[in-house]
Amino acid sequence: MKSTSLRAAAACGAALLAVGGLTAAATTASAADPVGLHVSGTQLVEQDGTPFVARGVSHAHTWYASQTPTAIPAIRAAGANALRVVLSGGRWTANSAADVADVIDLCRDNQLVCMLENHDTTGYGEQAGAVSLDAAADYFVSLKPVLQGTEDFVQINIGNEPTGNNEPQVTGWTAATSAAIAKVRAAGLRHNIVVDAPNWGQDWKGVMRDTAATVAAADPEGNTLFSVHMYGVYAQASTITSYLDAFEAQGLPLVIGEFGHDHSDGNPDEATIMREAVERGIGYYGWSWSGNSGGVEYLDMVRGFDPAQKTDWGKLIFDGPNGIKGTARTATFFSGTTPTP
């Protein structure tokens, strides 16, 4: 659950590339031989074993591609060590392989770990125009030529908020997510895979929480990171801590893939979200840099993509207690490189 206007932006029929003929035999790697960013117990670690804890934000690239060349350096300058990038395979204007390659280069130049997410799945089963996780996986397979060799700093977030609140999509999340992971792996992509929870990412029915181990076991690389989005469902500190405790108890890795300081569905406890993430070494990504409208403009961190005009939300997440600036550490992969000015 996030920007009403972004989800409602002129949805059209998906035009995803169908990729067939892939088999599990195409994946020759094993979990014992990880490349780049990978899961180790409850942690996301780099190739050399150094834990990487994301402190980042989302940028709605697919709707604001013209802003991306300046937004990415600005987000880095504000203190982030990671960026979640909104892409589309066809529900909105499709982001081509060449376009995605440019985004990846900008992330590398600015020393940002780059989570690429396919937004086309948002609200599947509830919102018109949304596509399945299977179709989203096809999109990432189509990007294989520009993704290969980027495993040290690029993550594949297969599908954003891949169900609404309707059945059978919610309880079908486990099988659909497992199959999408298998498709990406069969294509030979070894990146860390990030999977969003059902129920608009908030998992209020506990489907991801209760079946995450099954999904993790479906990944032959053993390299799946689970992502929960925390908005109004997480208005109470006890709800936040109990959800985080559940993953810790199972020994499974979790990232807070989105959260805000307010929302139309309730007022999330952002102070507890940020504090618990820091204390537990869990990554977080705030929503979002700029461009929200339709009544949720308060989710903008800067006004009009101007980094000199931070909102109260922007000041809080970047400069406040347990904020990005004070807790972000650059990935060791970028050691010895100089960010683009």
Residue pair 135/98 in contact (Cβ under 8 Å)? The answer is no
- CA dist 223 and 210 (Å) reads 18
Residue pair 67/302 in contact (Cβ under 8 Å)? The answer is no
- CA dist 139 and 133 (Å) reads 10
Active site residue 46: no
Rg (CA), the chain: 18
Residue pair 216/222 in contact (Cβ under 8 Å)? The answer is yes
Active site residue 161: yes
Instruction: Name the strand (E) or helix (H) holding 87.
Output: strand 82-87
Residue pair 28/22 in contact (Cβ under 8 Å)? The answer is no
Catalytic residue among 221, 258, 270, 276: 258
Q: How crowded is residue 8: how many other Cβ atoms within 10 Å of its Cβ?
A: 13
- CA dist 124 and 173 (Å) reads 10
- CA dist 134 and 32 (Å) reads 27
How would you classify residue 182: left for phi > 0, otherwise alpha for psi between -120 and 50, otherwise beta? alpha
Residue 99 main-chain phi, psi, to 5 deg: -65, -45
Tokens of 156: 């594949």
- CA dist 228 and 102 (Å) reads 28
Catalytic residue among 117, 151, 161, 221: 161
How would you classify residue 294: left for phi > 0, otherwise alpha for psi between -120 and 50, otherwise beta? left
Residue pair 38/223 in contact (Cβ under 8 Å)? The answer is yes
Tokens of 168: 């059978």
Q: Which of 260, 258, 255, 253 is nearest to 235 (CA)?
A: 260
List the beta bridge partners of residue 195: 226
Write out the catalytic residue numbers. 161, 258
